[in-house]
Amino acid sequence: MLDFVQQLVSGVALGCVYGLIALGFVLVYKATEVVNFAQGDLMMLGGFFAFTFIGMMGLNYWIGFAGAVAAMALFGMLAERIVVRPILGYPQFSIIMATIGLGYFLRSVAGMIWGTDDFKIETPFSQGVLRIGSLVLAHDKLSVIAATIILCTLLWLFFNKTTLGTAMRASSENMLAAYYMGIPVKRVVSIVWAISAAVATCAGVLLAPITFIHSNVGLVLGLKAFPAAVLGGFGSIPGAVVGGVLIGVIESMAGFYLAEGWKDVAPYLVLLAVLLLKPEGLFGLHARKKV
Amino acid sequence: MRFLFKTDYEDDIRLFPHSGYVVSYGLLLAVLLIAPYVLSSYLMSQLVFVCIYATVGVALMILTGFTGQASLGHAAFLAIGAYTAAYLQKYNVPFPVYFLAAGVLTGCIGALVGFPALRLQGIYLVIATISFAFIVEEILARWESVTNGNEGLRIKAVSLLGVTVSRDSPTFYFLCLAVLVLTIVGTLNLLRSPTGRAFVAIRDSETAARSMGVNVALYKVKSFAISAAITGFAGVLFAHKLSFISPEMFTLQLSIEFIIVILIGGTFSLHGAVLGAIFIVMIDPFLTYLKDDMPGIIAGVAATFGAGAATVANIQSKVAAFASLNGLKGAIYGIIIMLFVLFEPLGIYGRWLKIKLFFQLFPLYKRATFKRQKIYVKSERNR
């Protein structure tokens, strides 16, 4: 039983990481219908920025964290301006390819700048553990769970309660109509990319104590976060986190209880099964084309 | 400019619309047939890869370009073809038999993948095909009695009609070329048949196709099966060319490369598959050239412009250091993909058509001829 709970908690923590990355996908998708395959690489870059600020320049953890988030928000805007804006409105396939290209580029450039070693960031949560009875929970995992809950709530409130969030939803439905209603669509898209890059950075920094940062971490985790977003139904903020947690729990349970090899496959099998029964994901909305 | 007058249906669906096509493709085929006696062995080897990649490109073009179903799982089909060949070869099955068997098996699996894909679209389909590819990769690594796991399988040279065809011989190149040409001709025939027109109708609008009486489900599954089968054939050749296969060769990276093939070539025409394959395969020799010769050339240019000997040496070492950076290939890949999506979404073949039209219409060419429509409404983007 104790093993089960322990696995459950570490699965939830891992799943929250996937959920955090998936939140970034979902944000961009919700506002612009763009699927950003480079999200994992934005996370990796955020982690490297934080490493540069904290590990190499010796700044305080929280200052370094804030600096990395700010730098990545700017970078997100820049990426949007150069790569995404010219192709907004074209078929999804073009944009998927463009972001795959962006991902390739970021991975290689990060590899050139920081090398291909593993890096670690010292955090205030790195050492401590929380004991409840005989259950041992590491602080770094708890920090991920807490951050996910906070970010998810904030983003949900932002999207559903603020004017800017409403503007984002409107521009997702119909960019042209939103533009006619006086919504500055270009700025809205820029802001959503900034937020999404900032969320990715949070994921990267919180992840750093659990899995180390290296130039391919974005690809590895991004490919797990994608099923998470799809499982939850692309375009739903709570769905992304629920999907992420499901994937994480399935992965850690399969790794513990099933034979070797199931760990990597189980999330995808579950994903395929869910897509067969509910093609729009667990929380997705099914939109139909009108003729 | 040539105007084609079509007086009946046969004129409209002719494989070679006019004699110019026969001449130019005949010349191209003649050049390809004498190539092994002219080119170096390294370039020949690259040319074989061009044939194999182009075959996969044609397969993917049927699925993505003409039926509108994106797939990031084609490396898995290639792997299934390759492993079927390697497995059957161990039991002394003759080449033609296992070649066909690989295609048929891959086609059946493709149809099986096609069924769940019926309900999916857009990003969901992409993720489903990626998942399928991951599962296949893991099976290849774990099913050791058949695939020999991560150690990989060796595959002997092709033995055709009692003759052993080594993987570097011109005969093997002709074999690959024949497969490619047959695939292209077969696909062209498919596309002018009712099946092919149903594919294109589904791509343009599923709803419209359905209301015209096209059985969307049937044709999507057909498209998946045909595309997978062709990829399976290519897989057999791929395995023979490499002579050793292991699961880590068939990763997502390879699937992305195949998508890049059709993206860079142009997703609306079979020409695109071949041009894209040439581009992707030739990027390696080009980068090697960049690494080896560029520093000297740039230093030479600097010297002609009157730079001092010390500066020239400095420039040369800087450029050499840059060219041998580790991730350079990935970065160049990324930049190329982004540039094509941003500036030439119709690919190399699209560029060729634009240039051709420019000269045909010389003073009257309009840029807007090739402009794509942007859609800003969410419900219009779903189909």
Cα A173 to Cα A182: distance, rounded to the nearest angstrom: 15
Give strand pairing partners of A126.
Answer: none
pLDDT tens-digit readout, A113-138: 887 777 777 777 666 777 777 777 77
Q: Round to whole Å and give the CA distance between A109 and B331.
A: 7
**If you search the block for the tokens 């700010």, which residue do you land on?**
A70
The alpha helices in A84-138, defined as continuous H runs, are: 92-114
Cβ–Cβ of B138/A86 closer than 8 Å? no
At A72, the pLDDT band (50, 70, 90 cuts) reads very high
Q: Taking CB atoms and an 8 Å cutoff, what residues of chain A touch B333?
A: 101, 104, 108
What are phi and psi for residue B322, nearest 5 degrees?
-65, -40
B259 touches chain A (CB under 8 A): yes
Enumerate residues 85 to 144 of chain B having a beta carbon within 8 A of any beta carbon in chain A: 116, 119-124, 126-128, 130-132, 134-135, 138, 141-142
**Residue B341 structure tokens:** 């999506």
Which candidate from A93, A111, A175 shows the least CB-CB separation from B376? Answer: A175
State pLDDT tens for residues A37-62: 888 889 888 888 888 888 777 778 88
- Which has more confidence, A100 or A213? A100
Q: What Rg do the C-alpha atoms of chain A give, in angstroms?
A: 19
Contact status, residue B83 vs residue B236, Cβ threshold 8 Å: no
Query: What integer pLDDT is reported at residue B170 of this predicted model?
Result: 82
- Tell me the pLDDT tens digit for each residue of A140-156: 778 888 888 888 888 88
Q: What ipTM was reported for this prediction?
A: 0.83
What SS3 state is found at B331? helix
| Contact flag B341-A230 (C-beta cutoff 8 Å) | no
Chain B, residues 178-207, CB within 8 A of chain A, namely 207
Which residues on neighbouring strands pair with residue A136, listed in sequence order? A131
The rounded Cα A132 to chain-centroid distance in angstroms is: 30
Predicted confidence at residue B283, as pLDDT, reads 83
**pLDDT at position B53, please?**
93
Contact (Cβ atoms closer than 8 angstroms) between residue B70 and residue B64: yes
Helix (H, G, I), strand (E, B) or coil at B159: strand
Residues B260, B261, B264, B268: what is their CA dihedral angle, to the nearest 10 degrees? -110
Residue A291 confidence (pLDDT): 47
Residues 6 or more apart whose CB falls under 8 angstroms from that of B353 comprise B346, B370
The two three-digit tokens of residue B145, written as one number? 């009695």
**Which of A196, A43, A47 is closest to A114 using CA atoms?**
A47
Contact predicate B83/B91, CB 8 Å: no
Chain B segment 305-364 residues within 8 A of A by beta carbon are 325-331, 333-338, 341-342, 345
Residues of chain B with pLDDT under 50: 383
Q: Which of B123, B135, B341 sits opposite A265 (nearest CB)?
A: B135
Burial of B356 (0-12, 13-18, 19+ CB in 10 A): exposed
Per-residue pLDDT of A228-269, as tens digits, reads 888 887 777 888 888 888 888 888 888 888 777 777 788 888
Smallest CA-to-CA distance from A111 within A214, A42, A185 is with A214
User: Helix, strand, or coil here: A136?
Assistant: strand
* CA distance readout (Å), B299 to B205, B302, B304: 55, 5, 9
Question: Of the candidates A250, A4, A254, A13, which has an alpha carbon nearest to the alpha carbon of residue A130?
Answer: A13
